[in-house]
Amino acid sequence: MTWADDGNNPMIHFNGVTKDYDNQTALRDITFSVEKGEMIFVTGPSGSGKTTLLKLIYFAEKPDRGTISIAGWETGQLKESSIPFLRRNIGIVFQDFRLLHNKNVFENVAMALRIRGAGEKEIKARVYETLKAVNLRHKADVFPRRLSGGEQQRVVISRAIVAEPTVILADEPTGNLDPDTAEGVMRTFKEINAKGTTVLIATHNRELFRNSGRRVIRLDMGNLVAEDRT
């Protein structure tokens, strides 16, 4: 099952979405759309619900109210068995990295392709290519715990982009990167976006979207407080 390019649906559409955790509302009545091929930013203070919004998009959480549709698929009506196939169209840069600590850098990045059943030759070629793009080709055999914070973050970015997904969700992708490296990563995202991939970046690093001309969604305490173009 792949994502059919079915007409004029927006890539991501939230309609009145509310998400409650045990004793707290993380998102309240959120409505917004992301068009195909768009590059968009989500910002807001710590604990405002950015990560929760991303989790809703990749089905790690379910909305308590409202509807979400991803590339025309209504999340409420989705069969559980379809979830892995839908997720294969999404590349995720997790805020907490989620690296496999018992596998080296190469295998961590390769996992995204192995899960999709790619062949050994293709895996080798593409993994090394993306590692080169984030300047980590020389660390391919190292285990994650022996990497610096910024290096680990770049491995996560590699893994998110290696399978050339339709959508990329990046959660604070430059939190551990110096301004120069961060700029390099942003350039990579822009290149991928230019090829038609939808990119959504959650961050509080204002430098990333300052003067980019992209749309920015601002959250505060779970409310969508502003949607503007910088």
Partner 1 sequence: MTYAFILAFQSLIREKWINLLSVLTIASGLLIISLALFTVYNIDAATKNLPERFSMILYLDNDIQKEKVDAAVGILKKNHAVLSVRYIPKDEALKELKTTLKNSSYVFEGLDENPLPDAIEVKLKKDSVGQETVRKFAGEAMKIPGVKEVDYAEKFLSTLNYLRVGMKTIGLILIASLGAGIIFVCYSTVKILFYRRNEEIETFKLLGATKAFIRTPFLVEGALIGTSGGIVSLLGIFAFYYIVLLRLSVSMPIFKAILFPWDLFLVLPFVGTFLGVTGAAIAIGRLKY
Ligand X SMILES: Nc1ncnc2c1ncn2[C@@H]1O[C@H](COP(=O)(O)OP(=O)(O)OP(=O)(O)O)[C@@H](O)[C@H]1O
- Applying CB under 6 A, the span of 32-40, 43-51, 64-72, 101-109 interacting with ligand X comes to 43-51
| Of residues 66 and 91, the one with the C-beta less far from partner 1 | 91
DSSP per-residue codes, 65-100: EEEEEETTEEGGG--GGGHHHHHTTEEEE-TT----
Binding of Mg ion by 48 (CB under 5 A): no
| Of residues 6 and 141, the one with the C-beta less far from ligand X | 141
CA–CA separation, 41 and 157 (whole Å): 16
- Applying CB under 6 A, the span of 8-16, 44-52, 67-75, 191-199 interacting with ligand X comes to 44-52
**Look-up: residue for tokens 């968009």?**
40
Rg (the chain; Cα; Å) = 17
Q: Which does 60 bind (CB under 5 to 8 A by kind): partner 1, ligand X, a copy of itself, none?
A: partner 1
| Of residues 54 and 186, the one with the C-beta less far from Mg ion | 54
For strand 65-70 and strand 12-21, is the pairing parallel, antiparallel, or unpaired?
antiparallel
Give which of 125, 176, 122 is closest to 154, Cα–Cα: 176
| Of residues 28 and 126, the one with the C-beta less far from partner 1 | 126
Binding of Mg ion by 24 (CB under 5 A): no
Q: Please, what is the minimum distance in Å from the beta carbon of residue 20 to a copy of itself?
A: 13
Q: In 3-state terms, what secondary structure has residue 27?
A: strand
Question: Per DSSP, what are the bridge partners of residue 67?
Answer: 15
Binds ligand X by CB under 6 A, chosen from 10, 150, 175, 184: 150
Binds ligand X by CB under 6 A, chosen from 75, 176, 212, 223: 176
State both tokens at 81.
């068995």
Interface residue list for Mg ion (CB under 5 A): 50-51, 95, 148-149
